[in-house]
Amino acid sequence: MARITPSRKACAVNPLKSSTPLGAALAYLGVEGAVPLFHGSQGCTSFALVLSVRHFKEAIPLQTTAMDEAATVLGGADNLEEAIMVLKTRMKPRFIGIASTALVETRGEDFAGELAAIQKRRAQDLEGTTVVFASTPDFRGALEDGWAKATTAILQTVVAAGPRARAAVAAPRINLLPGVHQTPADIHELAEMVWGFGLEPFFLPDVSGSLDGHVPDAYVGTSMGGARLDEIARMSEAVHTIAIGEHMRVAGDALEQRTGVAATVLPTLTGLEATDRLVSLLQTISGRPAGPRLRRERSQLVDAMLDGHFHFAGKRIAVAADPDLLYTLVRFFGAMRADICAAVASTDASPLLGELPCEVVVGDLADLEDAAARSGAELLVTHSHGRQAAERLGIPLFRVGFPIFDRLGVQHRCTVGYRGTRELLYEVANLFMAQMHEHAPGDFADAVPPGPIVEDTRHGRAFEPS
Amino acid sequence: MSDALKAKIADVFDEPGCEKNKGKGAKEKKKGCSKPLTPGAAAGGCAFDGAKIALQPITDVVHLVHGPLACEGNGWDNRHAASSGPTTYRQGFTTDISEMDIVMGSSEKRLYRAIKEIVAKYSPPAIFVYSTCVTALIGDDIDAVCKHATEKYGTPVVPVNAPGFVGSKNLGNKLGGEALLDHVIGTLEPDDVTPFDINILGEYNLSGELWQVLPLFDRLGIRVRACITGDARYRDVASSHRAKVNMMVCSTALINLARKMEERYGIPYFEGSFYGIEDTSTALRTTARMLVERGAPEGLLARTESLIASEEARAWQRIAPFKERLAGKRVLLYTGGVKSWSVVSALQEMGMIVVGTSVRKSTAEDKERIKEIMKGDPHMVESIPPREMYAQLKKGDADILLSGGRTQFVALKAKMPWLDINQERHHAYAGYDGMVELVRQLDLEINSPIWEDVRRPAPWETVRAERTPSAQLPCEASP
């Protein structure tokens, strides 16, 4: 059992967290024709927007209710209404996802009530646009929480309630609820795995069509793809739901409650054992055995582990991430016999952190840097903001999670399933191999305890037989 | 909002140094210089963002943001204000206040403890504390905390009162300037004053642009006491009140600072730019003239003219090889303020055609300059909605878009060349050297082979038009 140590500092130095509303915005972008809307000051939106653009290298539709001081004190219902109506007129979105911010939540209002009143009053004007609200103040949780809350809000608003009315179809549907750190490439990989069992996957949120980086034929002001609203409504017809990561348990439970579709939470899909669990589940749901492609890929992963484990064994790795991603990474590195010499989580939200075989600090990147320095870490694993720490420590940085703003192609990096795990394993092993150094006498300073040297007989003064 | 902050904002909105502001009535002035925001159609940063932009380039101090996570967590280490030494300013410090702090009213205590931790661990020459919407809303008195901490720890702790919801980024720039006036400038007396000392205000050393210009001043024997705030050290700023002349670069951002430094310390200022060859020369010439007026030896004037002549000649010579490849290319300039005209003359010298320049953020003088430079045919546009801009670019109304990150993907998704000329850019475009770099980048972008490649139709788009008979299949394919 791990010890979870909360940070005692008053000052967060080099924050690890990205904000809760930003997590919500990313989830909303997994719906087709969407515009996320922050209920807060223009700056709340501007910072989140710039960060997302830097990560995805895509235009990100994200708007604001532009609360000024007067509106904050007097109540923001008018700004909320105006923002929704302006968005409706100018961008004609099919979906508006609202996320509250710390600013409006500090004053505290009945946002759901206000939104319901606006929707009733402007029903005609808002026809054809679904509006959803999630309470996501910055001072509660982080990226994973915002993502989960927004997904849950979508489910509760859009999915048809009540017992499932399933049509007899050739390919039974299953729902997949990916976590915030699943990339478009991860979703593609999962879809292919699920198809292999004769099942039809449906993802919510689905960023594989909206944030995968593609060039549409015409201008699109809203999200450029994503889960379709009419398909979301049909999630009640599925035979099963798989929620990925502990943070998506709340969404899986909400869906199960609403529709009766049983939900399974898989904490991670990275690693041989984790993928085996997914494949077993898919075998059970479909009643079919895994096909030749998966069998081959499993064998390739096993081979990669055999070849690669030499490079991981005993390596000291310092990791910082959101709780579910941290769990995934610590489990993956641990399975390869690396030493996790520092583990920092952005929040203590996941109960699984307690199961990790190392101490977990809830803190920031300065905590990571200090612990990495103390323990002589050889690799730093966190998002791009770890770059300064890695430079100061003189060790490489392996970039994971959000934001990754100083590398291209993050949306196409796959780390789930047999294939994704294999790619992750090779990528990190190659990083270690690139660092490998020629041995020198100094490496063995402690090989023999210090003592008097009788005679130096090396190099040219070699022992000569008498 | 505290009464002190209200008074400060009213003061900033009454700016005799600004022609536009002088023309306004009392009621108009109160509204400030930014247009009211439309919920659902607003873009741009808040006042906190603006204050941070103006002050963060001070490299050796700790910038501590007092608020919930997003204000700093979503925005730290996000610009390319370069440093020649300390890197403290690139680290993110925030009180990251929790729900408990708000409910229990413990956020002031948290701020005080945060300052204590920073002094103990980092011992910076100063700490700048930024208020934010939430901490302003719940009434945290950061002035009092900073005053107390300054006395207790002997480290200057500077309150920056610019919570996001008081207004725009531009207002925040000015409030950042006010913090320097109230708490920093004039607090240290320099012992090395010369008649050749100047300050540069509103230059942030983005991508190292200051270093393209400093050697010019070095050659003239002019010393930049403080660049406020690019690559600045706290002590430089604190002793900047003994300079002889202030050059104000980003016109609207820190005009209050320039004017008040003139009032308090008798430092005359002028507005200038380092974007463009002609503008760089004018800036050098004006600096020299004003220094001589304030007592510098007259020989400076001749030295300056000689440097200008040789540097201009060198710049044009370096630019000449690009002329052939750029002549006749059409540019859409989508930026604002000084940049809307300052690069136009350089582009025209290349034989390029400016098909439009946006004047969203430009002043009346900026617009006059554009008219002058573009000879009665200025193609000035206000804002262009992204959908329209996409259509224009797709139609081929321009060969390249010069803009900032916000419109980057409008151009790229239309498969059109784009060059970043806003603050996130990675290339430095200041001074004579910067113009040569800009022209080089223009050539690399416009004449890249990828444009032809990415616009070529996909195989399945051409297949119907030229349905290939099987006889024409490549021979490898035949059995």
Tell whether B303 and B331 lie within a shared domain. no
Q: Do A11 and B117 touch (CB under 8 A)?
A: yes
**Distance of alpha carbon B237 from alpha carbon B190, whole angstroms:** 11
Burial of residue B178 (number of CB atoms within 10 Å: 0-12, 13-18, 19+): buried
How far does Cα A337 stand from its chain's mean position?
Answer: 24
pLDDT of B114 strictly over 80: yes
Tell whether A276 and A307 lie within a shared domain. no
The CA–CA distances, whole Å, from A379 to A327, A346, A391, A409, A443 equal 17, 19, 11, 22, 19
Q: Has residue A404 been placed in a domain?
A: yes
Tell whether B235 and B354 lie within a shared domain. no
Mean pLDDT of B154-163: 97
Q: Has residue B14 been placed in a domain?
A: no
Tell whether B143 and B213 lie within a shared domain. no
Instruction: Give pLDDT tens digits for A76-116.
Output: 999 999 999 999 999 999 999 999 999 999 988 899 999 99
pLDDT, chain B, mean: 88
pLDDT of residue A443: 86
Residue B225 has what DSSP assignment?
A: E
Tell whether B171 and B101 lie within a shared domain. yes
How far does Cα A135 stand from its chain's mean position?
Answer: 20
Give the residue from A80, A82, A87 showing the smallest Cα distance to A129: A87
More confident call, B316 vs A2: B316
How many Cβ atoms sit within 10 Å of the Cβ of residue B441? 18
* Chain A residues with beta carbon closer than 8 angstroms to that of B113: 10-11
* Chain A residues with beta carbon closer than 8 angstroms to that of B86: none
* Chain B residues with beta carbon closer than 8 angstroms to that of A106: 102, 134, 137-138
Tell whether A248 and A345 lie within a shared domain. no
Q: Has residue A229 been placed in a domain?
A: yes
| Residue ending a domain, choose from B424, B440, B464 | B424
| Residue ending a domain, choose from B183, B211, B237 | B183
- Binned at pLDDT 50, 70 and 90, residue A356 comes out as very high
Please state the ipTM of this predicted complex: 0.93
> Count of CB contacts below 8 A, A vs B?
203
Tell whether A259 and A319 lie within a shared domain. no
pLDDT of residue B471: 47
Instruction: Find all residues with CB under 8 Å of B461, minimum gap 6, and list them.
Output: none
The count of domains in chain B is 3
A255: domain CATH number is 3.40.50.1980
Coil, strand or helix: which one is B195? coil
Q: Has residue A364 been placed in a domain?
A: yes
End-to-end CA distance of chain A: 63
User: Of the ranges A29-43, A334-348, B383-397, which one carries the lowest mean pLDDT score?
Assistant: B383-397
pLDDT of residue A447: 87
Query: Which residue carries 């020369």 as its tokens?
Result: B281
Parent domain of A106 = 20-140
B386, closest residue in chain A (CA to CA):
A221
DSSP strand E in B324-472: where? 330-334, 353-358, 380-381, 400-403, 418-420
pLDDT of residue A161: 83
- Binned at pLDDT 50, 70 and 90, residue A439 comes out as confident
Q: Has residue A180 been placed in a domain?
A: yes
B101, closest residue in chain A (CA to CA):
A139
Tell whether A280 and A309 lie within a shared domain. no
Parent domain of B78 = 41-183
Tell whether A258 and A303 lie within a shared domain. no
**Distance of alpha carbon B302 from alpha carbon B288, whole angstroms:** 9
Instruction: Give pLDDT tens digits for B51-104.
Output: 999 999 999 999 999 999 999 999 999 888 999 999 999 999 999 999 999 999
Tell whether A252 and A305 lie within a shared domain. no
Tell whether B175 and B57 lie within a shared domain. yes
B288: domain CATH number is 3.40.50.12380
Q: Has residue A379 been placed in a domain?
A: yes
Instruction: Give pLDDT tens digits for B331-360.
Output: 998 876 556 666 787 788 788 998 888 776
Instruction: Find all residues with CB under 8 Å of A64, minimum gap 6, and list them.
Output: A37, A38, A40, A41, A42, A44, A45, A46, A83, B39, B40, B42
Q: Has residue B28 been placed in a domain?
A: no
Coil, strand or helix: which one is B423? coil
Q: Which long-range contacts (CB under 8 A, 24 or more apart) does B15-23 make?
A: B15/B255, B15/B256, B15/B259, B16/B259, B17/B255, B17/B256, B17/B258, B17/B259, B18/B252, B18/B255, B19/B363, B19/B364, B19/B365, B20/B363, B20/B364
Q: Has residue A71 been placed in a domain?
A: yes
Tokens for B98, please give them. Answer: 């929790």
User: Of the ranges B5-9, B198-202, B399-403, which one carries the lowest mean pLDDT score?
Assistant: B5-9
pLDDT, chain A, mean: 94
Tell whether A309 and A400 lie within a shared domain. yes
| Residue ending a domain, choose from A242, A271, A290 | A290
Tell whether A185 and A228 lie within a shared domain. yes
pLDDT of residue B478: 41
pLDDT of residue A461: 55
pLDDT of residue A73: 87
* Chain A residues with beta carbon closer than 8 angstroms to that of B93: 11-13
Q: How close is the nearest chain A Cα to the Cα of B373, in Å?
A: 33
How far does Cα A452 stand from its chain's mean position?
Answer: 57
Tell whether A304 and A432 lie within a shared domain. yes
Tell whether B305 and B378 lie within a shared domain. no
Q: Do A139 and B134 touch (CB under 8 A)?
A: yes
Nearest to A19 among B74, B112, B163 (CB): B74
Tell whether B81 and B208 lie within a shared domain. no
Q: Has residue B26 been placed in a domain?
A: no
Q: Has residue B250 been placed in a domain?
A: yes
Mean pLDDT of A134-163: 94
**Which of A8-12, B1-5, B248-252, B303-307 is the most confident on average?**
B303-307
Phi, then psi, of A385 in degrees rounded to 5: -65, -5
Q: Has residue A355 been placed in a domain?
A: yes
Q: How close is the nearest chain B Cα to the Cα of A289, in Å?
A: 37
| Residue ending a domain, choose from B315, B350, B377 | B315
A312, A316, A320, A326: CA torsion to nearest 10 = 40
Tell whether A309 and A284 lie within a shared domain. no
Tokens for B251, please give them. Answer: 């016109």
Nearest to A83 among B39, B101, B413 (CB): B39
| Residue ending a domain, choose from A251, A270, A290 | A290
Mean pLDDT of B305-314: 97
- Whole-prediction pTM: 0.93
Tell whether A311 and A262 lie within a shared domain. no
Instruction: Give pLDDT tens digits for B370-419.
Output: 677 766 666 777 778 889 999 999 999 999 999 888 789 999 999 999 99
**Distance of alpha carbon A241 from alpha carbon A221, whole angstroms:** 31
pLDDT of residue B477: 41
Q: B379 and B312 in contact (C-beta within 8 Å)?
A: no
The count of domains in chain A is 3
- Binned at pLDDT 50, 70 and 90, residue B442 comes out as very high
**Distance of alpha carbon A76 from alpha carbon A74, whole angstroms:** 7
Q: Do A103 and B78 touch (CB under 8 A)?
A: no
B405: domain CATH number is 3.40.50.1980
Tell whether A388 and A344 lie within a shared domain. yes
Q: Has residue A190 been placed in a domain?
A: yes
Q: Has residue B176 been placed in a domain?
A: yes
Tell whether B166 and B294 lie within a shared domain. no
Tokens for B50, please give them. Answer: 């603006």
Q: Has residue B32 been placed in a domain?
A: no
How many Cβ atoms sit within 10 Å of the Cβ of residue A252? 25
**Distance of alpha carbon B76 from alpha carbon A192, whole angstroms:** 38
Q: For the packed helices B210-220 and B431-446, what is the interaxial angle rounded to 10 degrees?
A: 150
* Chain A residues with beta carbon closer than 8 angstroms to that of B136: 69
Query: Which residue carries 């609403």 as its tokens?
Result: A258
Using CA of residue B248, residue B252, residue B255, residue B257, what is the dihedral sign?
Answer: negative
Q: Between β-strands A95-100 and A34-39, what pairing exists: parallel, antiparallel or unpaired?
A: parallel
Q: Has residue B152 been placed in a domain?
A: yes
Coil, strand or helix: which one is B7? helix
pLDDT of residue B16: 76
Nearest to A42 among B46, B69, B405 (CB): B46
**Cis before A157? omega within 30:** no
Tell whether B287 and B405 lie within a shared domain. no
Q: Do B48 and A90 touch (CB under 8 A)?
A: no
* Chain B residues with beta carbon closer than 8 angstroms to that of A216: 413
Tell whether B206 and B311 lie within a shared domain. yes
